[in-house]
Structure 1
Amino acid sequence: MDWENFRSRGKDAADWAADYHATLRERPVRAQTKPGEIIAQLPASAPETPETIDAILHDLEHTIMPGMTHWQHPRFFAYFPANAAPVSVLAESYVTAIAAQCMLWQTSPAATELETRTCDWMRQAIGLPKGFSGVIQDSASTATLCAVLTMREKTLAWEGNKKGLSSQKPLRIYASAEVHTSIDRAIWISGIGEANLVRIPSRGPTRAMDVTALQHAIDADRAAGFLPAGIIACVGGTSAGASDDIAAVMDVAAAEGLYTHVDAAWAGAAMICPEFQSVWAGIERADSVVLNPHKWLGAQFDCTTHFLQDPASLVKTLAIHPEYLKTDGADGGIINYSEWSVPLGRRFRALKLWFLLRAHGLNGLRDMIRNHVSWAQGLAARLAETPGFEIVTAPMLSLFTFRYVPQGTQDSDALNQQLVNAINADGRIYLTQTRVDGDLVIRFQAGAWTCTAEDVDTAYDVITDIAPTLT
C-alpha cells in the first residue's frame, strides 16, 4: 500500500469505524469465543508473498472481530472503561499519520509544548494548585513506578541507581491492601522487594488506610533498622472504590519526611466536578498524583496525566545523557519529557487530550461524569430494595459492589460467581467480581462514553432476571 491507496482505504476505515460504533448495542459485550478458537484460524507462519487488503479485511471481520470484547460498548460495566471518544480517535489518526517520536523537545517542539499546556489545563480542571507540573505517561502503572523509583532514590541520597540496593538497609513502602496491583509490580521492578511493601489495614465505610496503624508501622520499622521511603495512597481503589483520608495520610508523611504518591487512576477524572473534590481533600500536599484521562474522560488509550510537586526529583532519578541525545540549546529552559518517563521513546499523546478538551469542553465532560454517578447510585438503590440482593460497598462515585443472597443460600460465593458467569454469557452487559472482606461480590461501574440511563436500566433487568433462575 502506498499513500495514494491509503487515501481511499482510510476513508473506508472511517466508515467501518462509524458503522462499528453504530452497531455496538447489537453485539454481546464480552467475546463469546472459547480459548484457542481464534489462533486455530490463523496460519502458523507469515505469508511469503503479499496478500490483498481485501483479504486482510475479510479476515479482520470474520476471524478477529468475533473474538473481541467490545470495550466501547455502552453496557460495558466491568473493570473501568478504556473510553475512546470519536474526537480522540480522530486525533489519534493524526498522531499515527505524523508518527513522531517525541522524546526530546528538539525532536518535536510542538509535542512537548502542547503536553505542557494540556497538562496544566488538566491541573486547573481538577483543582491542583500552581505548584504542580504535569507529564503524560502511558499508564498509571508507569507513573506509580516513577514515584516508587523517586522514593527509593531520595531515601538513598541518590545512590540507588549508582550502587544498587545490596549494600543498603531495606527500604519500606506503605500502602493499604486496597491499592492496585501496579503498586506491587512497581515494588518488584524497583528492586525494593515485595516483602518490603507494608500493608496497612483499612477501616470504615470508605475502607481508608488506618493512619494510626500506619504510624505504628513506620515507628516499628525505624526501630528495626528499616528505611521508610514513601506512602502510596489511593482515591477510588480498583476493587471496590476504597479511598484513603488523604489529609490524614499527608500529616503522617510530613511528620516522617516521606514521599507520597496518590493513585486516583479512574476516580481522579471526576475531580473536574468541584462537588466531588472533597473525596481527596488534602491532595495539594501530595508529592505525586496520577489519573487516567484514557479511562473516564474519553481520551484514546494510552493517556495518563502524572502531576508532581517537584519534577526535579523525578528527573534526577531518571535522566541520562548519552552523547547522541545531547542537543543544542539544551540549557534554554526547555523540557525533555523522556527524562520524566521510564521509556525513552514517547508518542504524541497530548494531541488527543487537546482535541478532547476543546471539542467537548469541561462542562460537557462534567455532565457525562455526573450522569454516570447519578445512574450508578440509582441502580444501587434499586438493587438494595430488591429481595435477595444486598449492597456490600456503597457507591464511590460510579462504582459499587453487591451480591445476591436469597433466603436459604448455602454458598454465597459460588452463587455469585455463577451469577457473574451467567450474566456475561448472556452478553447484554459485562460485569466482574471481586472480594470484600473475603466474600465474593459483584462490581458495577458506569463509565462508558455512550452509556445512557436506559443502559443502566438494562443492567438492572439483566441482573434481576437471571439471578432467580440460578440454583
Structure 2
Amino acid sequence: MDAFRSLLEPDETERLRLQQAVEQYAQGFIQQLPTLPAFVAQPDMGAGLLEAPIQEEPIAIEEALQLLQKQVDTPGINSASGNHLGYIPGGSLYTSALGDYLAAVTNKYAGIFFSAPGAVRMENMLLRWMAGMIGFPEDTAGNLTSGGSIASLIALATARDAQKITSRMIPDAVVYMTAHAHHCLDKALRIAGLGECPVRHIEMDAAYRMSPQALEKAILADKASGLTPWLVIASAGTTDVGAVDPLQDLAHLAKKHGLWYHVDAAYGGFFALAASGKAKLKGIELADSVVMDPHKGLFIPYGSGAVLIKNAKQLGETHHYQANYMQDTLSSLGEVSPADVSPELSKHFRGLRIWLPLQLHGVKAFRIALEEKLFLAQYAYNKLQYMPGFETPVAPALSVVIFRYKPKAGIEANAFNQNLIHEVQQDGRVFMSSTKLGEAYMLRMAILSFRTHQDTIDTALQVLQEKAAALEEQAAVKASVERY
C-alpha cells in the first residue's frame, strides 16, 4: 500500500528538488526579460509540444521545463515583458505568483464561507476596498472573477432581473452603448438570454466618448415608439483608444429615465488609485454596477477580474442556488459566499494573488506605477506629434495612445500602416497592435505594464521611425522601377 500512496506524494527531498528547478527557471526568465523579444513569430507556433504527448511514464522536471521554455514561453507575445505595448497588457507581479503558489498548495475552496471562512473574508475585504476606491457604499457586493467577461455577465444578468426584463419583453428592451464598447458586453448579453435586445450604438464626440445629448435623444425616441429602454453601458477606458465616457452626465440621464447604469472600467477602473486618474473617472461612483480588472490596472497576472454591484440583494437573488448536499454551508456570519453571487461553484482562491502583493508592496507602490503609466502615455503622445509623418487624432485619456503614419503622396495610408505594424511586430523589440477608426487603419500603444518605463517608450518610437523610413524607401524604389 505504501507504493500506491507514494505515487503522487513526493517526499520533502523531492519536493525541494522540484521547487528548486522551477524557481531557477522562473528567476532565469525574469532576469532575461529586459533582453527577451516582446514578440516571437515562430513558424511552428509551439506545435513541438505535441511531440511530447501525455503518456504512462513520467518525464524529468528538466525535460518538462525545456518543453515549456521552447514551446510555450517563447512563441507569440511575451506578456510579461515591459516592451509589450499591444492590446491592454496584463501584469505579472512575482509576488502575485507566490500568492497563486500558496493558494494551490493549500487548495482552499474559496466558493463557500463554511469551507474557507478566511479565504472568503479576504476576497470580500478586497472587494470592499475596491468599492471604496471608486466611491461605492460599504454594503456593495461583488465577486472576484476570471476576468472582465465573466464580471460583465454577472453584472448584466443582475441588471436584467433588477429591471424586470422578462423573456416576452426582450425584443422591445433597449440597450445603449457606443460602437467602441468591448465585445464581451455583446457576448454577455447573448449568454444572459438578452441577445434579441435592440442595441443602440450612440454617437461619439471627437474624443470618442458617448454623447449625452445623443443618448437622451435615442431614449426619448424609443420610449415614443413604445419600446422599453433599460440599460446604459458606459466605458471608463475603451480598448480602441482608451476613452472615458462622460460618466457623470450619463449617470444623471440613466437615473432620470429609470435605466440601470453599468460602467465597464475593466481597463480604466484602477486608475482611481492615482490622483490624476481619479479625476478622469468622476461619476463612476454613480453607477449601479462596475467591472474592473486587477489583471490590468493592478498588474496582477491574467485571470483576475472583479464586479461591484450596489444592489447586493438583487445580485444574490440572480445567482443564488440551493442543494441538499450543501445544507451544512448555509450560515455565513454576514459574509457573502462567492458561489452565491456568481455562475461559478468551483473556483480558485483568486484573492491571495491580489492580497499578497498589496500587503507586500503597499498601495503607494501601485499608485506611483499608475501615475507613471499616465505620464508615459502623454510623453509618447507629445513625442509622436513632433515625429515627421506621424499623426495623432486624439490625446490619450488614460494610457492608450492612438496614431498612424501618413505616407508621402501616392502611397495608400491604410496599407502602409498595416505593413508598418507588421514590421514592428516582426522586429520583436517591442509589440504594438492596431485597430480601425472608421475606415482609417490606426496603430495603438497601450502602456500598462509595471515594467514599462520611459526608455521603453523611446525604443518604441525609434522602432516606429526606423520601420516607417524603410517602408517609404521601399515604396520609392518600387515606384522608380515601375516608371522605368
Q: Which residue of 1 aligns with 2:415?
A: 414
Q: Which residue of 1 aligns with 2:265?
A: 264
Query: What is the distance in 2 between the residues matched to 1:63 and 1:292?
Result: 28
Q: Tell me the alpha carbon deviations over residues 303-352 of structure 1, each in whole angstroms, 9 at most, x when there is no partner.
A: 22222211111111111112222325527433111111122222111112
Quick check: 422-431 or 126-135, which moved more?
A: 126-135
Q: Which residue of 2 aligns with 1:279?
A: 280
Counting only pairs closer than 5 Å after superposition, residues 236-247 of structure 1 correspond to structure 2 as: 236-247=237-248
1:60 aligns with 2:68: yes
- TM-score, normalised relative to structure 1: 0.93
Q: Which residue of 1 aligns with 2:478?
A: none
2:190 aligned to which of 188, 191, 213: 188
Q: Which residue of 2 aligns with 1:121?
A: 129
Quick check: 329-338 or 102-111, which moved more?
A: 329-338
Q: Note the C-alpha offset of 1:44.
A: 8.4
1:42 aligned to which of 34, 46, 50: 50
Q: Which residue of 2 aligns with 1:23?
A: 32
The alignment partner of 1:305 has SS state of strand
| Change over 3 Å in CA distance of 1:328–1:152 after alignment to 2 | closer
Query: What is the distance in 2 between the residues matched to 1:44 and 1:84?
Result: 27
Counting only pairs closer than 5 Å after superposition, residues 218-257 of structure 1 correspond to structure 2 as: 218-257=219-258
Query: What is the distance in 2 between the residues matched to 1:16 and 1:331?
Result: 42
Q: Which residue of 2 aligns with 1:135?
A: 143
Q: Which residue of 1 aligns with 2:360?
A: 359
The answer to whether the 8 Å contact 2:270/2:292 transfers is yes
| Change over 3 Å in CA distance of 1:65–1:132 after alignment to 2 | closer
| Change over 3 Å in CA distance of 1:94–1:227 after alignment to 2 | same
Quick check: 117-126 or 69-78, which moved more?
A: 117-126
Q: Note the C-alpha offset of 1:69.
A: 2.2
Counting only pairs closer than 5 Å after superposition, residues 409-448 of structure 1 correspond to structure 2 as: 409-448=410-449
Q: Note the C-alpha offset of 1:110.
A: 0.7
Query: What is the distance in 1 between the residues matched to 2:408 and 2:64?
Result: 54
One-letter code of the match for 2:222? D
Q: Which residue of 2 aligns with 1:295?
A: 296
The answer to whether the 8 Å contact 1:170/1:192 transfers is no
Q: Which residue of 2 aligns with 1:96?
A: 104
The answer to whether the 8 Å contact 1:127/1:271 transfers is no
Q: Note the C-alpha offset of 1:166.
A: 5.0
Q: Which residue of 1 aligns with 2:9?
A: 2
Counting only pairs closer than 5 Å after superposition, residues 315-354 of structure 1 correspond to structure 2 as: 315-327=316-328, 330=331, 332-354=333-355
The alignment partner of 2:368 has SS state of helix
Q: Note the C-alpha offset of 1:60.
A: 2.2
Quick check: 148-157 or 107-116, which moved more?
A: 148-157
Query: What is the distance in 2 between the residues matched to 1:224 and 1:330?
Result: 48
Q: Note the C-alpha offset of 1:391.
A: 0.7
Q: Note the C-alpha offset of 1:131.
A: 5.0
Query: What is the distance in 2 between the residues matched to 1:439 and 1:195?
Result: 30
Q: Note the C-alpha offset of 1:362.
A: 1.6
How big is the alpha-carbon RMSD for the aligned residues of Structure 1 and Structure 2? Answer: 2.0
Aligned pairs, number: 463
Q: Tell me the alpha carbon deviations over residues 354-409 of structure 1, each in whole angstroms, 9 at most, x when there is no partner.
A: 11111121211111111122122112111110110111221122111010003315
1:12 aligned to which of 8, 13, 21: 21
The alignment partner of 1:434 has SS state of strand
The alignment partner of 2:112 has SS state of coil
The answer to whether the 8 Å contact 1:81/1:296 transfers is no
The alignment partner of 1:392 has SS state of coil
The answer to whether the 8 Å contact 1:169/1:227 transfers is no
Percent identity between the two aligned chains: 26
- TM-score, normalised relative to structure 2: 0.91
1:374 aligns with 2:381: no
Counting only pairs closer than 5 Å after superposition, residues 164-179 of structure 1 correspond to structure 2 as: 165-166=167-168, 170-179=172-181
One-letter code of the match for 2:457? V
| Change over 3 Å in CA distance of 1:57–1:108 after alignment to 2 | same
Q: Which residue of 1 aligns with 2:394?
A: 393
| Change over 3 Å in CA distance of 1:32–1:169 after alignment to 2 | closer
Q: Note the C-alpha offset of 1:167.
A: 7.1
Extract unaligned runs of 5+ from structure 1.
none
The answer to whether the 8 Å contact 1:115/1:136 transfers is yes
Q: Note the C-alpha offset of 1:242.
A: 1.9
Query: What is the distance in 1 between the residues matched to 2:331 and 2:97?
Result: 34
One-letter code of the match for 1:46? I
| Change over 3 Å in CA distance of 1:465–1:260 after alignment to 2 | same
Q: Note the C-alpha offset of 1:222.
A: 2.6
Q: Which residue of 2 aligns with 1:74?
A: 82
Extract unaligned runs of 5+ from structure 2.
1-7, 476-484
Quick check: 70-79 or 329-338, which moved more?
A: 329-338
One-letter code of the match for 1:210? S
2:118 aligned to which of 87, 110, 122: 110
